[in-house]
Amino acid sequence: MVRPVVAPGAASATTSRLSPKRLYGFLAAAEMVTWALLIIAMVIKYGVGPEVYVRIFGMFHGVVFIAYGLVTIFVWANERWSASRGILGLLTAIIPFATLPFERAMLRRGLLSDTWRLAPGGDAAQGPIEKIQAMALRSPRLAAAVGVVLVAAITAVLLFIGPPGGSN
């Protein structure tokens, strides 16, 4: 995939402080950290008792898990990953501590960019998913707000359905 070449220090419509590489790296690390917090809370629960930590860190992990999934889909579209690579990216969130190694593998293979391909001044959007992404990249603050609402809505629906493993 060809990316626009930008001279150091030059402004470009397609460059962003929050590039696909940085955003995906942040969420991959956050997902891994929240897994660790949840596992520590479970050890505390079954070792010394208080369940409150599982509820707190479980909710925190759940929110980051959903955000990681949404960002994976967003980056998948930007980077034009194959279906198998995108699905693998989503599946890594289920396996404790797998998101960061996956993200590092994508970096080593050059599959995470410093630019948003569909940002204003970039590639033309083709298909409904790319059109949604291009629209989000034209209004990043609105897109971030919509993303927060989407994560909250998905979290609310999942809480309504019930916690993983049923209630204790």
- Contact (CB, 8 A) for 27 and 151: no
| Measured distance CA(46)–CA(79) in Å, rounded | 42
| Measured distance CA(62)–CA(47) in Å, rounded | 23
pLDDT tens digits for 117-151? 999 999 999 989 899 999 999 999 999 999 999 99
C-alpha dist (Å) from residue 101 to 9, 21, 96, 110, 116:
31, 14, 11, 14, 22
- Contact (CB, 8 A) for 43 and 67: no
pLDDT tens digits for 47-87? 888 889 999 999 999 999 999 999 999 999 999 999 999 99
Secondary structure class of 14 (helix, strand, coil): coil
The pLDDT mean for the chain works out to 88
What pLDDT score was predicted for residue 168?
55
Residue 5 confidence class, pLDDT cut points 50, 70, 90:
very low
The pLDDT > 70 percentage for the chain reads: 88
